[in-house]
Chains A and B, each alone.
Chain A
């Protein structure tokens, strides 16, 4: 069967893929940030996860930030990074 050579329409991706931070072995005393994207029940879910991290793994304190809508960029991101060791975020409908 004859074959064609084609240029891929996918192109390439930006090359600056960053490695993730090294993990601590446990969560005792880590500052937990919550970035609530304002979707319904996002805060309920994320706050409960944070509560459980405190109860089960000794994490804390917990700080909440809220974006003014899921589709808006997180303008508070620098504050979140400065004030947290781990961050819980991401919620859909």
Chain B
């Protein structure tokens, strides 16, 4: 709604004396009255639902400047989305390029197969990556994910893509050593293509609609596969009712990972200390907005739990029981604010009482990923978001 009548109030508003907030109202009220009493200009006509072609410098270095100026790029070099490259990515789906996969907030951008493929072309992705990206876009548009808020918040969150099933090894999506790091094309370009679609089609331009205060490095690309081969338990997609032979992608509105180093513990009972201690923090959205924090267990840590006879549900339950924050660790202002947002858990409680890292043990997600070594990770979320799992078309 670019034609909405907006009156901007100077930042900041939160954390200032209410007298100053009232003074800001005094400073804008004449413009509010004007916006409410003068007829606005009519909206510009919507763009026609056809593929748009543009011309750009053929020189690869000049093309980078062009892509940055057009807002197409994430800052890293991009490849030109020529009709030939886009057609190659679409392959047999080329005749269906106008099919609409989703409408993406906040721009209400129409993610057709062709627009999606153009972003794969920009990202350097391959035809085989298309079904994963398409499934991820379907998942991101699910209302439970709350894409509009994720795209526009000041919080540092971005979709984390977790790929399960046989497509992951087939495409070379890394689930092993350095699974959340660099060096594997499929992880890099699938996650990047999704980010570019959110920026270009969804219209979340950094510093503009994307209001992230800091952001995080996963906003370049944030994609891994679960290490199903080395997990002692059923993988995430099977836990959610899909078949083991199906391939799925799960999207989470995630912060950056925080490491859990534990080289000493040799039993489940011991290992849970470091995991719960790392997960229980005062600055997390999950603690008062009710998200689904993710525990990424390295295979050696997962094996330690399994050797102690713990199921995945046991791991979730005990971390949830132990990952607690005493209310007196929150500031009085935050206790009051969280009491408004989540009265059940924060209002009328004693300071010595504790809250868990999320609303219930079932909200805690656990996957196994990574290679040799005794590290795991806690990945908090935006809070007001639910992860969504979608099957990847064959």
Contacts and interface: CB of A to CB of B under 8 A. Distances in A.
B358 to A, nearest CB: 15
Nearest to B119: A9
A63 interface: no
B299 interface: no
Interface in B1-36: 1, 3-6, 9, 11-16, 18, 21-22, 24-26, 28-29, 32-33, 36
Given A7-B83, A71-B289, A93 B46 contact: no
Contacts of B108: 13-14
B16 A56 contact: no
B340 interface: yes
Contact of B21 (A19, A45, A90): A45
B384 A13 contact: no
Nearest to B104: A11
Nearest to A2: B58
Interface size class of A (residues with CB under 8 A): 35 or more
A18 B43 contact: yes
A12 B37 contact: no
Contacts of A82: none
Interface string A4-18: 111111111111111
A20 B82 CA distance: 38
B51 interface: yes
A6 B55 contact: yes
B146 A71 contact: yes
Contacts, number: 204
B340 A91 contact: no
A41 B18 contact: yes
Contact of B46 (A7, A13, A27, A45): A13
Contacts of B345: none
B51 A93 contact: no
A40 B372 CA distance: 46
Interface in A38-93: 38-42, 44-46, 48-49, 51-53, 56-57, 68-73, 86, 88, 90-93
B340 A38 contact: yes
Contacts of B36: 23-24, 27, 53, 86
Interface of B: 1, 3-6, 9, 11-16, 18, 21-22, 24-26, 28-29, 32-33, 36-40, 42-59, 62-63, 72, 80-83, 86, 103, 107-112, 114-115, 118-119, 121-122, 146, 149, 153-154, 196-197, 200-201, 203, 211, 289, 337, 340-341, 382-384
Cβ-closest 8 pairs across A and B: A11-B115, A48-B25, A40-B14, A71-B384, A15-B46, A71-B149, A14-B108, A9-B118
